[in-house]
Amino acid sequence: MNLADRLLPGFGLLRRGKRGAGLFLLISSILFLVVLFWRFGLVVTAFRSLGAGVLLFGLSPDDFQAVFTPETLEFWIAAIYLTGALAGIFFFSRRALDNARKEETDQQRQEIGIAESGWRSFKKHTIALYASVVIFTLYSVAFLAPLVSPFNPFQQQDFLVTAYQPPLTTIEALVLEQRKGITIPPRDDRTLSGRLTNSMIRDLQTLKHRNEPNKLMFIDEWRQEGQAVICRQGSREKTIPVDRLRTGSNGFTVSHTFVLGTDQYGRDILSRVIYGSRISLSIGFLVVLISVTLGTVIGVSSGYFGGLTDNILMRIVDVLIAFPALFLILIIIATFGNSIFLIVITLSFTGWMGVARLVRSQVLSLKEQEFILAARSLGLSNMRIIFRHLVPNTLTPVIVAATLRIGSIILTEAGLSFLGLGVQPPTPSWGNIINEGRDSLLNHWWISTFPGIAILSTVVCFNLIGDGVRDALDPRMRA
3 state SS for 269-328? HHHHHHHHHHHHHHHHHHHHHHHHHHHHHHHHHHHHHCHHHHHHHHHHHHHHHHCCHHHH
CB 80, CB 51: distance < 8 Å: no
pLDDT tens-digit readout, 377-436: 777 777 888 888 788 778 778 888 888 788 888 888 888 887 777 777 778 888 888 888
At residue 143, the pLDDT reads: 92
**277 or 466, which is more confident:** 277
Model confidence at 104: pLDDT above 70: no
**CA nearest 338: which of 433, 427, 434?**
427
At residue 76, the pLDDT reads: 92
The model's confidence at residue 466, banded by pLDDT at 50, 70 and 90, is: confident
The model's confidence at residue 108, banded by pLDDT at 50, 70 and 90, is: very low
Return all residues near 473 (Cβ < 8 A) that are at least 6 apart.
118, 121, 396, 399, 400
Distance CA 436, CA 445 (A): 11
Return all residues near 52 (Cβ < 8 A) that are at least 6 apart.
196, 199, 200, 203
Distance CA 320, CA 350 (A): 8
At residue 273, the pLDDT reads: 93
Rounded mean pLDDT, 322-348: 80
Model confidence at 334: pLDDT above 80: no
Which alpha helices (DSSP H) does 323-445 contain, by range? 325-336, 340-348, 353-366, 370-377, 382-385, 391-393, 395-418, 430-437
pLDDT tens-digit readout, 70-98: 888 889 999 999 999 888 888 877 776 66
Distances (CA, A) of 325 to 67, 350, 367, 409, 411: 41, 6, 32, 12, 14
**CA nearest 403: which of 359, 459, 475, 341?**
459
pTM score of the predicted model: 0.84
CB 367, CB 398: distance < 8 Å: no
Model confidence at 106: pLDDT above 70: no
pLDDT tens-digit readout, 247-272: 765 667 788 889 999 988 888 999 99
**274 or 234, which is more confident:** 274
Q: Which domains does the chain have, with CATH numbers?
A: 3-110 (no CATH), 152-178+214-267 (no CATH), 269-478 (1.10.3720.10)
The model's confidence at residue 321, banded by pLDDT at 50, 70 and 90, is: confident
Rounded mean pLDDT, 340-361: 85
- DSSP, res 19: H
At residue 224, the pLDDT reads: 82
Q: Which strand (E) or helix (H) includes residue 8?
A: none
**221 or 248, which is more confident:** 221
How far the first Cα of the chain sits from its last, in Å, is: 36
At residue 77, the pLDDT reads: 93
Rounded mean pLDDT, 465-473: 79
Model confidence at 190: pLDDT above 90: no
Strand partners, 217: 174
At residue 141, the pLDDT reads: 92
**158 or 136, which is more confident:** 136
pLDDT > 90 in the chain, percent: 10
**CA nearest 245: which of 225, 216, 221, 219?**
216
pLDDT tens-digit readout, 432-446: 888 888 888 888 899
Return all residues near 293 (Cβ < 8 A) that are at least 6 apart.
none
CB 203, CB 294: distance < 8 Å: no
At residue 47, the pLDDT reads: 93
pLDDT tens-digit readout, 20-30: 666 777 788 88
In the chain, the largest separation of any two C-alpha atoms, in whole Å, equals: 98
Rounded mean pLDDT, 456-461: 90
Distance CA 335, CA 421 (A): 11
Of 49-58, 232-241, 248-257, the range with the highest mean pLDDT is 49-58
**CA nearest 399: which of 462, 348, 456, 353?**
462
* Type of residue numbered 295: G
At residue 142, the pLDDT reads: 92
